[in-house]
Chains A and B, each alone.
Chain A
Amino acid sequence: MELRKSKSIESVKMKRKINKIIRYTVLIAVAVIMLYPMFWLIGASFKSNAEIFTSVSLFPKKIDFAPYIEGWKTKTEYTFGTYFMNTFQIVIPKVIFSLISSLLTAYGFARFDFKFKKILFSLLMATLFLPQVVTRIPLYILWRQLGFLDTYIPLIANTLFAQEPFFVYMLIQFLRSIPIDLDEAATIDGCNSFQILTKILLPTLKPAIMSCIIFQFVWSMNDFMGPLIYISSVEKYPVAIALKMSIDNSSGIVQWNQIIAMSIISILPSIILYFSAQKYFVEGTTSSGIKG
């Protein structure tokens, strides 16, 4: 009897072990398949053009920084330095404006009771699902009539008005989880509603704020269609459009290693941010759960 029992325990243990091995195998296989192209790309950016198309190896035969140096110069009269500066001129205001405007809106929704609140909240949720494709053309015509084509204004303006429902919704969710007693105590102490937001709620909202900042940063860095439609002069191009131009321009011999090197440089800020602030990415996605 005793023997049998220990045997069955053994077999359960064995089964668990096998289970574990299967799971790890799947996880590792999926990770390798998914990330191999990206790692290979990093290696490829140091390879010669000939080696790229003959070797599946991650590692270049010899490390050559020439693709980076040549790629950075570009075939235009500007370097990638200019394109990066342009990108940041779009991204930084967007991050700041959307944070402030979304915070005010979320605060209004989460902490006040007023007429039509339910209707307004449903409108907010509706815009979350509204396909951008229907509003794009009239907005273009509007900015054209106002004379703002080929400026960064059309790309930034909507962030001044909290027009990214994802952030508003995420902040509302976070605000709702903060006990209202805090506000009430502060009111008794003589804080007005704005002071409650800045002095009491803001410090507790830090994780949500971090999530807003990093998501807006990454999405704005990724934005391609916005600048594609609105920015027409090369000197104002952000990195996304400059990269696209590099694959269009390369008639004749395509310097793939240079294009790849610049592609890597262009996603580097987002990757660094991702690995240093991962926690906030995960929290942001799961708390309100959108975008992909």
Chain B
Amino acid sequence: MKGRKGYLYLLPWLMGLVLFTIYPFISSLVLSFTNYDLINPAKFVGFQNYIHLFTQDEVFLKSLFATLKYTVLTVPLQLAFALFIAFILNFKLKGIKLFRSAYYLPSILGGNVAIAILWRFIFRPDGLINQVLGLFGIEKVAWFSTPATAMAVIVFLKIWQFGSSMLIFLAALQEIPRDLYEAAEIDGATKIRTFFTVTIPLLTPTIFFNLIMQLVNAFQEFNGPYLITQGGPLQSTYLSSMFIYDYAFKYYQMGYSSAASWVLFVVILLVTAVLFMTSSKWVYYADEGGK
């Protein structure tokens, strides 16, 4: 259909885009160059917030580093696991639907406080995990007492929610034409070889998509560290989103917190930009004739 009527249907969204995205987006950038405590008028301070973040604030740098660590640990592991399970599910087995729903359930409930409570609870020194480890003769682990194990707890939670990536992989796997596999078999390729030379290249657009989505999510993770480890011990799981939350809604330093959020935003932007720029090298698009 032609015509300006289209705008009419887009009007609510356009208004919302200005009010809920464009305005706050610009506003937070402006705020990041000020000191603002909600009571006194905002005071322009130039780059001072940014300079302070990077030169004076060890906690900030630590949180940024913890966020990177968390992202680097969760995203590849989660995607690899999702792909592995999707690959197994893709064979015609009985009861596939049952498994699929079982694996997907954690993703649905993922962000719920109840799940965070469950996690906090089963990783207690006397919790289920240690009880089970005890059955195998493994000594109790004080999960929340050392930086490495505390990080592991929130990383496990994220990997546990591999279901939605898995579903997307599964849908992509089912689109791969069967004759490609048959051709590979006739050529005498082994299963493993077929996986790496046929399946993986055809999946790269899906891998790329999942990768970007999971990265953007992981960089902003809040519920896990906030509710489970509370940033500890020694702020080893104090992720950037917690830092930003604390400075904004606990200490009411809106300018400083906005600056921190912009640093995080730029980090996310840089990582995704690099991925997009290199994507032409490793992402296979069938309709371009392939590469």
- Residues of A within 8 Å of B8, CB to CB, are 108
Instruction: Return the chain B residue nearest A33 by Cβ.
Output: B160
Interface residue? A231 (CB, 8 A): no
Tally inter-chain residue pairs, CB-CB below 8 A.
Answer: 262
Interface pair A133/B258, CB less than 8 Å apart: no
Interface residue? B101 (CB, 8 A): yes
Among B93, B107, B164, B168, contact of A20 (Cβ-Cβ < 8 Å):
B93
Instruction: Return the chain B residue nearest A273 by Cβ.
Output: B108
Interface pair A101/B13, CB less than 8 Å apart: yes
Interface pair A161/B6, CB less than 8 Å apart: no
- Residues of B within 8 Å of A56, CB to CB, are 128, 131-132, 135
Interface residue? B31 (CB, 8 A): yes
- Residues of B within 8 Å of A135, CB to CB, are 20-21, 24-25, 28
- Residues of A within 8 Å of B99, CB to CB, are 27, 31
Among B12, B19, B25, B213, contact of A290 (Cβ-Cβ < 8 Å):
B213
Instruction: Say how far B242's CB is from chain A's closest CB, in angstroms.
Output: 11
Interface residue? B248 (CB, 8 A): yes
Among B212, B223, B248, B257, contact of A224 (Cβ-Cβ < 8 Å):
B223
Interface pair B12/A101, CB less than 8 Å apart: yes
- Residues of B within 8 Å of A86, CB to CB, are none
Interface pair A132/B168, CB less than 8 Å apart: no
Interface pair A247/B93, CB less than 8 Å apart: no
Interface residue? B196 (CB, 8 A): no
Interface pair B117/A140, CB less than 8 Å apart: no
Interface residue? B142 (CB, 8 A): no
Interface pair A161/B13, CB less than 8 Å apart: yes
Task: Give the bracket for the number of chain B residues in contact with chain A.
Answer: 35 or more
Interface residue? A249 (CB, 8 A): no
- Residues of B within 8 Å of A274, CB to CB, are 101, 105, 108
Interface pair A162/B6, CB less than 8 Å apart: no
Q: Report B183-221 residues with CB < 8 Å from chain A CB.
A: 206, 209-210, 212-214, 216-217, 219-220
Main SS at interface, chain A: helix
Interface pair A183/B1, CB less than 8 Å apart: yes
Interface pair B25/A104, CB less than 8 Å apart: no
Interface residue? B85 (CB, 8 A): yes
- Residues of A within 8 Å of B10, CB to CB, are 104-105, 108-109, 120
Interface pair B6/A113, CB less than 8 Å apart: yes
Instruction: Return the chain A residue nearest B219 by Cβ.
Output: A131
Interface pair B15/A138, CB less than 8 Å apart: no
- Give Cα A268 to B210, complex, Å: 28
- Give Cα A104 to B5, complex, Å: 11
- Residues of A within 8 Å of B105, CB to CB, are 35, 38, 271, 274
Interface pair B212/A129, CB less than 8 Å apart: yes
- Residues of A within 8 Å of B12, CB to CB, are 101, 104-105, 160-162
- Give Cα A168 to B132, complex, Å: 45
Among B24, B135, B162, contact of A142 (Cβ-Cβ < 8 Å):
B24
Knowing A35-B105, A113-B6, A137-B261, the reply to whether A244 touches B113 (Cβ < 8 A) is yes
Instruction: Say how far A164's CB is from chain B's closest CB, in angstroms.
Output: 10
Interface pair A229/B272, CB less than 8 Å apart: no
Interface residue? A40 (CB, 8 A): yes
Interface pair B244/A133, CB less than 8 Å apart: yes
Among A109, A133, A136, A292, contact of B214 (Cβ-Cβ < 8 Å):
A292
Interface pair B265/A134, CB less than 8 Å apart: yes
Interface residue? B71 (CB, 8 A): no
- Give Cα A123 to B18, complex, Å: 11
| Binary flags per residue of B158-177, CB closer than 8 Å to A gives 1, else 0 | 00111111011011000000
- Residues of A within 8 Å of B111, CB to CB, are 219, 222-224
Knowing A41-B118, A134-B262, the reply to whether A112 touches B254 (Cβ < 8 A) is no
Instruction: Say how far A174's CB is from chain B's closest CB, in angstroms.
Output: 15
- Give Cα A123 to B122, complex, Å: 43
Instruction: Say how far B148's CB is from chain A's closest CB, in angstroms.
Output: 21
- Residues of A within 8 Å of B171, CB to CB, are 286, 289
Interface pair A131/B268, CB less than 8 Å apart: yes
- Residues of B within 8 Å of A282, CB to CB, are 100, 104, 167
Knowing A137-B261, A292-B110, the reply to whether A278 touches B16 (Cβ < 8 A) is no
Instruction: Say how far B278's CB is from chain A's closest CB, in angstroms.
Output: 17
Some 6 contacts from A to B, beta carbons below 8 A apart, are: A133-B244, A134-B25, A136-B248, A163-B21, A224-B223, A266-B113
